[in-house]
A and B are shown apart, each in its own frame.
Chain A
Amino acid sequence: MMLLKILFRNAFHNKLRSSLTILGIAVAILAFGLLRTVISSWYSGVEAASTTRLVTRNAISIIFPLPISYQEKIRQIAGVKIVSYGNWFGGVYIEEKNFFPNFCVEPKTYFQLYPEFVLDPLQQKALLADRKGFVAGRKLAERFGWKIGDTVILKGTIYLGNWDFVLRGIYHGRDETIDETQFFFHWTYLNEVIKKRSPNWADKVGFYMIGISRPDIAPDVALAIDNAFKNSLAETLTETEKAFNQGFIAMSGAIVTAIQMVSFVVIFIIMAVVANTMAMTTRERTGDYSIIKTLGFGAKDITILIFGESLIITATGCIIGIILTFPAAKAFGHSLANYFPVFLVSAETIYYDIAAAFLIAVLAAIIPTRHAIRIRIADGLRRIG
């Protein structure tokens, strides 16, 4: 149809202006997409959380430990299938900036409970056989070039001194959303050393990780666990893994909110830019729209022309922006792998991109369309002379 021809050609008539606007939209969509990806990768731990796992910690604070003796009692509670446990170790490899998460765990139960960390059975056997053995995620091992059998020394920040470990296995994520940057070693190794140094601090764990048989019993089991330790020296707080992970994020909630706001500001700014472009182009075309109306075309046709042009420009920018988001996110994720172990552009982010672009297109077109429809033909034609 002729109107489509007109609006397509109008959209690219002023090449410089259209290109600059499209570039602006592409950059805005790219920025928006990256910021949203930062947010979603922040939440990736929450998303990846299993609904059949609970975490039990000290009711007062995560920084206080629980006795190892709780393990037996928890295991006996109905619905509990596996009990594992661990401590945050907080070791540093060579220097501070080489940050990665490191924990001591009970490896046998831990890898049962976390099937998303895929470990070769032979490597697992080797790990269990070596008190000083450890397992690293694939990305972590690659980052420092560790090979099986290598000795790695971590400097303790909570548990002072140099700790030496031997790499016995490298785990892979079950899929690309799984964090492959973690470091796990034997809880018993840590405990033995502490026992020698300060027996009072020995036989303590930071948290219990509990596998239950069905998601729907989670609240009951959590309650049963906490009730079991009511009025003891160390009362417990049990929650789903998701809630537990969320608790960590809540601490950085303000930052997330700030990023979220910036992402909307970006969209708002580009909206103003596109609105300005549309206002300029439609003003220049006042005469065209008037002649089109003179020939007998109506408000509907003018609306199609202006909204169509706005949509084409924004859609082009949006598509370019989305296409650029993937390599950009890859580069971004690569250089910030330490902070964002999982940095993937989600489908949701793309939907947000498209929704934002659509919103931009529509809002930018409303006022120019109203103006073009309302202006009297005689006045619109007079503008040409």
Chain B
Amino acid sequence: MTQQNNTIVEIRNVYKSYHRESLIVPVLHDITFDIAEGEFLALMGPSGSGKTTLLNLIAGIDKIDKGTIRVGDVDISTLSETELAHWRANSVGFIFQFYNLIPVLKAIENVELPLHLTSLPTKERRSHAEMALNLVGLSHRMDHYPGEMSGGEQQRVAIARAIVTDPTILVADEPTGDLDRVSAEEILSMIERLNTEMGKTIIMVTHDPRAAQRAKILRHLDKGYLNDDASQNPL
């Protein structure tokens, strides 16, 4: 699929700070940038620079203090808690460092879970989930619980869960941070393929240069400031 230049995420003058007791800790300062549809962006930066915070804001699991964030044609900074939850269910796929699967659900059930917020009938939920698991090569682990799978396998289940609703954007927070080299490469290839073969827009936080290499565009955060020059990945 060829890269399109339609903007899918538009971040304008975003500020975010946390309150710690009586102290206000500024975390993000005047962040402005766009993400084009079909882009694979790696967000890099030292620990504590605000990468997770920014990703959470884009994904609608945290609220900004100032500015706007648009995803598609929705200004998510104006949505209420409930509207935001609804929006997330339809528009965002999540991949986390620690997989965050529900331990009491089998692989297939974990993948099916987000579909319970859609109007899909039971049968189709199951077949969608099977398809997604198939896509990450885990059909044979369908009935396994997370505790019975390796880290790499769990992360693949998490990827299946993230894509099963066909979201507008995929966000990944250090998806390989907890994996050995081989599993990490596997996961990265998979994420890369979601971008190149399925045209998914992906925003990935990482401080692993090897992971960043896979992305098309790199952006750097430092102490809450965005280094303005988005570098095209040399790859």
Contacts and interface: CB of A to CB of B under 8 A. Distances in A.
B62 A296 contact: no
A92 to B, nearest CB: 65
B94 interface: yes
A376 B62 contact: yes
15 contacts: A2-B105, A2-B112, A3-B116, A5-B104, A5-B109, A9-B105, A10-B104, A13-B103, A288-B102, A288-B103, A291-B102, A294-B88, A298-B82, A377-B56, A377-B61
Size category, B interface = 20 to 34
Most B CB contacts (10 A, CB to CB) among A5, A291, A292 go to: A291
Given A2-B116, A298-B85, A378-B56, 4 more contacts: A295-B117, A378-B52, A378-B62, A381-B96
Interface string B53-68: 1001000011000000
Contact of A381 (B88, B90, B100, B113): B100
Interface of B: 52-53, 56, 61-62, 82, 85-90, 94, 96-98, 100, 102-105, 109, 112-114, 116-117
For the complex of A and B, the 4 pairs showing the least CB-CB separation, nearest first, are A296-B89, A9-B104, A377-B61, A291-B100
Interface residues of A, number: 24
Contacts of B82: 298
A2 B61 contact: no
Most B CB contacts (10 A, CB to CB) among A376, A381, A384 go to: A381
A148 interface: no
A295 B94 contact: yes
For chain A, what secondary structure do more than half of its interface residues adopt (helix, strand, loop), or is it mixed? helix
Contacts, number: 67
Interface string A52-75: 000000000000000000000000
Contacts of B97: 385
A296 B98 contact: no
Given A288-B103, A378-B61, A381-B96, A2 B56 contact: no
A10 B105 CA distance: 10
B103 to A, nearest CB: 7
Nearest to A2: B116
Contact of A296 (B86, B100, B104): B86
B98 A384 contact: yes
A151 B92 CA distance: 92
